[in-house]
Amino acid sequence: MSREFAFIDALRAIAVSPAARGLADDAAVLEFGGEKLVLTMDTLVEGVHFLPDDPPEDVAWKLVAVNASDLAAKGAEPLGCLKSHALGEEEWDRAFLAGLELACRHFHLPLLGGDTVRMPQGSARSFSLTALGRGPEDCPVPSRSGAQNGDLVWVSGTLGDSGLGLELLTSGRKVQTPEAAWLSDRYRRPMPEPALGVALAPLATAMMDVSDGLLVDARRMAEASGISIAITAEHVPLSRAFVATLGDDLDKRISAMTAGDDYVLLFTAPPVNSAYVRAAAKALGTGVHAVGTVTEGSGIALEWKGAPVPLPERLGYQH
């Protein structure tokens, strides 16, 4: 177990409120007066979550986007956000604010307040943002623990683009193609879809976002739900840019399923809901893809063209 997850386990003894959901979900859910307030918080650290030379506008976008992704996973309508900012170079901070304004407008998360501190000279930049959303009225807030035997497993977008974009940015190779530029942008500017999460909430039995990689996040959903998830590798959606840059075989698909930073939705739904799931996505001009099934048992399994294949040693991003 990583040090981060060991620390989270220790925190569970403190986070005893039902709203905390055992610190095992994408967000907290506070219910009062018939309303459901969804709260989530993410922190980005230079050198861990973004590159030191990433444009400040992109860092701001990513900070808002990863929080919007958590709201999407809970089917929550964005309400606003609170921002913690460590002040550094004035020009950098000014560009960050321009990106923050753009991202808050795009994801319908108006800035409501926050805190500022002075960053020690030479230290890594670190930023936090708390996002608030209104949970669905006519159904429970989806958790990652509701998957049922017989459900289909879905994702809402292509996988591996951000991870490949990061690889291109850090490899030292000067790949100057439209595909490389698009992939790099997917790393720096994720595009979660909160409106899709709202539309899917009444149809899904379980839902979360893919932040650390499809395989490791599917395992987390399986563990939380007490079931097994089988992923069919050839059904995992890849972008044209990914295939044009890296190719398409089992190894490349495993790379896409373990890279992380995708910020697409991973959800389960009974087969009878399939037409409604596709219609909900189509109405928003986006796509969804059935990539597996829920079965009895535990853990996850991987299949390729009808045959089981061994799971990779690394299922996703390691904290």
Which domain does 244 fall in, by range? Answer: 152-309
Using 50, 70 and 90 to split pLDDT, how confident is the model at 10? Answer: confident
Q: Are residues 34 and 68 in the same domain?
A: yes
Token pair of 164, please? 């490949």
Q: Are residues 75 and 46 in the same domain?
A: yes
Q: Are residues 90 and 175 in the same domain?
A: no
Provide mean pLDDT across the span 265-291.
Answer: 98
- Give the DSSP letter of residue 50: B
Q: Are residues 130 and 157 in the same domain?
A: no
- CATH number of the domain at 211, please: 3.90.650.10
Query: What pLDDT shows up at residue 270?
Result: 99
Q: How far apart are CA 2 and CA 249, in angstroms?
A: 31
Token pair of 207, please? 């839902």
Query: What pLDDT shows up at residue 319?
Result: 53
105, 134, 163 - which closes a domain: 134
Q: Are residues 45 and 106 in the same domain?
A: yes
Q: Are residues 278 and 163 in the same domain?
A: yes
Q: Are residues 170 and 128 in the same domain?
A: no
Residue 84: pLDDT above 90?
A: yes
76 belongs to a structural domain: yes
Comparing 11 with 161, the larger pLDDT belongs to: 161
Query: What pLDDT shows up at residue 301?
Result: 98
Q: Are residues 160 and 31 in the same domain?
A: no
Token pair of 169, please? 């940015």
140 belongs to a structural domain: no
Provide mean pLDDT across the span 128-155.
Answer: 96
Q: How many domains does the chain have?
A: 2
Dump pLDDT digits (tens) for 156-167: 999 999 999 999
128 belongs to a structural domain: yes
Query: What pLDDT shows up at residue 16?
Result: 66
Q: How far apart are CA 226 and CA 51, in angstroms?
A: 37
Separation in Å, CA 49 to CA 90, 159, 318: 22, 18, 12
Q: Are residues 103 and 173 in the same domain?
A: no
Q: Are residues 124 and 169 in the same domain?
A: no
Residue 177: pLDDT above 60?
A: yes
* Percent of the chain's residues with pLDDT above 70: 95
313-262-109-36 Cα dihedral, nearest 10 degrees = -50
- CATH number of the domain at 75, please: 3.30.1330.10
Token pair of 283, please? 């109405």
- The amino acid occupying position 288 is V
Query: What pLDDT shows up at residue 91?
Result: 96
Query: What pLDDT shows up at residue 162?
Result: 97
Residue 150: pLDDT above 70?
A: yes
Q: Which of 125, 188, 139, 137 is nearest to 161 (CA)?
A: 188
Letter string b/e over residues 80-91, b meaning 16 or more CB atoms within 10 A of that residue's CB: ebbbbbbebeee
Using 50, 70 and 90 to split pLDDT, how confident is the model at 192? Answer: very high
Provide mean pLDDT across the span 185-214.
Answer: 97
Provide mean pLDDT across the span 289-308.
Answer: 97
Residues 154 and 300: beta-carbon distance below 8 Å: no
Strand partners, 37: 30, 134
243-247-250-253 Cα dihedral, nearest 10 degrees = -30
Using 50, 70 and 90 to split pLDDT, how confident is the model at 22? Answer: low
Dump pLDDT digits (tens) for 107-137: 999 999 999 988 888 788 999 999 999 999 9
Provide mean pLDDT across the span 212-229.
Answer: 97
Q: What is the pTM of this model?
A: 0.93
Tell me how crowded residue 114 is: count the other CB atoms within 10 A of its CB. Answer: 13
Using 50, 70 and 90 to split pLDDT, how confident is the model at 14? Answer: confident
Query: What pLDDT shows up at residue 23?
Result: 65
**Strand bridging mode 77-87 / 111-118:** parallel
Q: Are residues 78 and 212 in the same domain?
A: no
Query: What pLDDT shows up at residue 7?
Result: 79
Largest CA distance in the chain: 58
Mean pLDDT computed over every residue of the chain: 93
286 belongs to a structural domain: yes
Residue 203: pLDDT above 80?
A: yes
Query: What pLDDT shows up at residue 8?
Result: 74
Q: Are residues 162 and 100 in the same domain?
A: no
Dump pLDDT digits (tens) for 55-77: 999 999 999 999 999 999 999 99
- Give the DSSP letter of residue 149: T
Residue 19: pLDDT above 70?
A: no
